[in-house]
């Protein structure tokens, strides 16, 4: 059974996913990296140059391909669960874990990586907290369909990993 990590941008899906896969001897797939390899361009460039709709279609195709694998750790994109019936597809044969962080933590992390995130193009520094809060609010109904939610604030990385692996292995 696959493990799919979901959550807002900068929630640690890729970092934690790589560590879990390494620890468990599983294959790791970062959905955004998979899309970039298929398309021959970065996700940021795809969104900026071809538009979000183009990207979401490519994302959907890549997701369905990746989900055919078994016993993988998959880091989904932050918006992946929110389009088409992607969340339902992920829940079919995978354990889906939502990495939930406070808005203030996400804001700190986004500020560090902002330039590489095209969804923040045109959002002023003053508007960033409200933008992220609204984005998370809009996505939460999708995220909360996950099999398991990890409330990450205040937890060590090891505790987060152990919580995720326990949810995956005990499903």
Dist. CA 101–CA 115, nearest whole Å: 21
121, with CB counted inside 10 A (0-12, 13-18, 19+), is: exposed
Global pTM value: 0.96
- In three-state secondary structure terms, 4 is strand
Q: Summarize the confidence of residues 89-113 as an average pLDDT.
A: 95
Give me the CATH number covering residue 21: 3.40.50.300
pLDDT at position 114 is 84
pLDDT at position 119 is 81
Pairing mode, strands 72-75 and 27-30: parallel
User: 74: closest CA among 39, 41, 27, 23?
Assistant: 27
pLDDT at position 122 is 84
Per-residue confidence at 28, pLDDT binned at 50, 70, 90? very high
pLDDT reading at 120 higher than 90:
no
Q: How confident is the model over 45-96, as pLDDT tens digits?
A: 999 899 999 999 999 999 999 999 999 999 999 999 999 999 999 999 999 9
Average pLDDT, the chain: 95
pLDDT at position 76 is 98
pLDDT at position 155 is 98
Q: Which domain holds residue 7?
A: 2-169
Q: Count structural domains, the chain.
A: 1
Q: Are 79 and 139 in contact (CB under 8 A)?
A: yes
Dist. CA 53–CA 55, nearest whole Å: 5
User: 79: closest CA among 92, 90, 65, 67?
Assistant: 90
């Amino acid at each position: 059974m696959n493990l799919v990590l979901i959550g807002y941008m900068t929630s640690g899906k890729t970092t934690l996913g790589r560590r879990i896969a390494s620890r468990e001897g599983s294959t790791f797939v970062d959905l955004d990296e998979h899309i970039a390899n298929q398309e021959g361009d970065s996700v940021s460039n795809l969104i900026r140059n071809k538009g979000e709709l183009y990207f979401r279609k490519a994302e959907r195709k890549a997701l369905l391909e990746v989900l055919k694998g078994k016993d993988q750790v998959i880091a989904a994109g932050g918006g992946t669960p929110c389009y088409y019936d992607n969340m339902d597809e992920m829940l079919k044969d995978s354990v889906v874990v939502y990495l939930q962080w406070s808005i203030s933590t996400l804001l700190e992390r986004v500020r560090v990586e902002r330039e590489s995130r095209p969804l923040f193009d045109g959002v002023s520094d003053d508007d960033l907290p409200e933008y992220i809060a609204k984005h998370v609010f809009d996505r939460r109904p999708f995220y909360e369909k996950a099999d398991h939610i990890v409330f990450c604030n205040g937890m060590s990385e090891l505790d987060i990993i152990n919580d995720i692996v326990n949810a995956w292995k005990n499903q």
